[in-house]
Amino acid sequence: MDPQLLRATFAVVERRAEHAVTFFYSHLFWNNPGVRALFPEEMQPQRDRLFAALTHVVTRLEDPGLAGYLGRLGRDHRKFLASPALYAAVGESLLAAFAHAAGAAWTVEAEKAWSEAYGHIAELMLAGADEAAAAGEPAWWDADVVRHRRHGEDLALLTLRPRRPLPYLPGQYVSVSSLRVPRVWRTYSLGNAPRPDGTVDLHVSRIAGGAMSAALVEETGQGDFLRLSAPGGALTARTPPGGVRTYICAGTGWAPVKALLEEAAAVEPDLEGRLFVVARAKEYLYGRPDVELLKERLPRLHVTYIASAPGRRRDQATERLVQALRACGHWQAHDVYLAGPPAFLTEVAEVLEELGTDPDRIHHDTLPTVGRFATRPGTTAERLLGPPQVLWHDPEARAPRPR
């Protein structure tokens, strides 16, 4: 591959991202009518994620971890029923869309480079899918809802029993699909360490305008079933025994942290560490009973609850957290596990680095968010002043470098 040529072409296409993606899906569905049924009715999130995934790949062409990322992506795409024929159709439409958006920049050399690059990408993704299938891994796990608990109007805790064992590590997440929102998958962390009965918990916060979160919080009940993707993510325990650590979670970020603490209580009850539980208001500290139970099993875990004052704006909780973090010391010695909304993770990680925490010891997953192309830079000057955020992610890319 010619990374320089690929990036140069992509930079032109990216400035017309809205047009490129619209053309891509129009071309794909027009030339392959049966493919439309594989996609959700609401296409905007899918459109944004497509271009974000391309951005991720193009910015990491020389990264030795790219092949692993694409293999995992192919493994995950089995839940979309992605076949070799679909990969071929997507490649044809992608090149057509790039030619449309790039204009004069789409030369013979550029077309050849992108054709070869996409072929290589598809080959690695299909290899990842084939490897998962050969290992006996299903495309998804059907899971029965055995319990549904509401915490206020916006939050629900669902206990699921997968119909076949779901192999996962504490701190990981799964994508979830419901027949109430066909062909849509949304990501939720698993809120417990593995149990003897195989059940798993999902902590779901209802999002304004979010069809999946609304369906899970308001409509799903005992006796229903959901589909779960293969687990993923890098927010897993990696601190050597005896190492000190800090856990920081906001909102339903408590779910993966709870799973990590349950694991620690079982294998390292003398763990020394700090836990900060943050919520936008006191009534949203829904995990407090579980925290108190874990404190009994982890007596050397110091717990701090933080919430906004009554009647104050919700981001005051983050300001209070920052003050509390600055009052603590010995950050150089701590591994830090972070979970919460993307903006919260970014702000807190920056503060921790200012306080002396090694960036390689700050562990978190940045789950994919969905943005609008209208917010992306439209000119070279705008791109220099505010480069677009990469929305797709490689969870395992957060793993620390050897020390």
pLDDT value of position 397: 37
Whole-number Å distance between alpha carbons of 305 and 344: 16
Please identify which residue in the block is written with the tokens 């809802």. Answer: 145
Asked if residue 352 is part of any domain, the answer here is yes
Whole-number Å distance between alpha carbons of 355 and 246: 13
3 state SS of 141: strand
Q: Is the pLDDT of residue 157 over 60?
A: yes
What pLDDT, in 10s, does the model give residues 355-398?
Answer: 999 999 999 986 544 333 334 444 444 444 444 443 333 333 33
> Of 176, 203, 228, which residue constitutes the final position of a domain?
228
- The tokens for 172 are 């990981």
Asked if residue 238 is part of any domain, the answer here is no
Whole-number Å distance between alpha carbons of 181 and 40: 8
Residue 156 DSSP class: E
Please identify which residue in the block is written with the tokens 């290992």. Answer: 135
Whole-number Å distance between alpha carbons of 125 and 122: 5
Whole-number Å distance between alpha carbons of 297 and 3: 52
Q: Which amino acid is at 122?
A: A
pLDDT value of position 392: 32
Query: 126 and 156: one domain?
Result: no
- The tokens for 218 are 């308001």
Please identify which residue in the block is written with the tokens 């999902």. Answer: 202
Query: 125 and 145: one domain?
Result: no
> Of 134, 149, 183, which residue constitutes the final position of a domain?
134
Q: Which amino acid is at 252?
A: T
What pLDDT, in 10s, does the model give residues 206-228?
Answer: 988 888 999 999 999 999 999 99
Instruction: Tell me the CATH number at 61.
Output: 1.10.490.10
- The candidate with the shortest Cα–Cα distance to 284, out of 304, 261, 314, 256, is 314
pLDDT value of position 113: 95
Asked if residue 385 is part of any domain, the answer here is no
Instruction: Tell me the CATH number at 162.
Output: 2.40.30.10
pLDDT value of position 305: 96
Asked if residue 45 is part of any domain, the answer here is yes
Number of domains in the chain: 3
- Position with higher pLDDT, 46 vs 337: 337
Query: 274 and 217: one domain?
Result: no
Question: What does the pLDDT average to over 25-50?
Answer: 84
pLDDT value of position 209: 80
Using alpha carbons, list the distances in angstroms from residue 158 to 150, 192, 221, 348, 395.
Answer: 9, 12, 8, 28, 24
Query: 265 and 340: one domain?
Result: yes
* Sheet hosting strand 362-363, strand order edge to edge: 301-307, 273-279, 245-250, 335-339, 362-363
Query: 28 and 115: one domain?
Result: yes
Instruction: Tell me the CATH number at 270.
Output: 3.40.50.80
Q: Which amino acid is at 72?
A: R
pLDDT value of position 37: 85
Q: Is the pLDDT of residue 243 over 60?
A: yes
Asked if residue 373 is part of any domain, the answer here is no
8 A C-beta contact, residue 217 and residue 204:
yes
Query: 205 and 271: one domain?
Result: no
What pLDDT, in 10s, does the model give residues 76-106?
Answer: 999 988 999 999 999 999 999 999 999 999 9
8 A C-beta contact, residue 88 and residue 6:
no
Q: Which residues contact 349 (CB under 8 A, 6 or more apart)?
A: 338, 359, 362, 364
- The tokens for 209 are 């305008």
Query: 196 and 253: one domain?
Result: no
pLDDT value of position 247: 98
Query: 181 and 297: one domain?
Result: no
* Sheet hosting strand 200-205, strand order edge to edge: 186-189, 173-177, 225-228, 141-151, 155-162, 200-205
Query: 122 and 194: one domain?
Result: no
Query: 250 and 343: one domain?
Result: yes
3 state SS of 241: coil
pTM beyond 0.85: the answer is: no
pLDDT value of position 314: 65
Asked if residue 325 is part of any domain, the answer here is yes
Beta carbons within 10 angstroms of residue 261's beta carbon: 28
Structural domain including 106 reads 3-134
pLDDT value of position 376: 45
3 state SS of 81: coil
In 76-185, where do the E strands start and end? 141-151, 155-162, 173-177
Distance from CA of residue 216 to its chain's centroid? Answer: 18
Asked if residue 403 is part of any domain, the answer here is no
Query: 220 and 159: one domain?
Result: yes
8 A C-beta contact, residue 140 and residue 133:
no
Asked if residue 249 is part of any domain, the answer here is yes
Query: 64 and 149: one domain?
Result: no
pLDDT value of position 382: 42
- The candidate with the shortest Cα–Cα distance to 93, out of 78, 76, 115, 116, is 115
pLDDT value of position 384: 43
> Of 134, 167, 202, which residue constitutes the final position of a domain?
134
Using alpha carbons, list the distances in angstroms from residue 253 to 220, 249, 340, 401.
Answer: 21, 5, 4, 24
Q: Which residues contact 280 (CB under 8 A, 6 or more apart)?
A: 251, 307, 308, 314, 315, 317
- The candidate with the shortest Cα–Cα distance to 196, out of 253, 266, 299, is 266
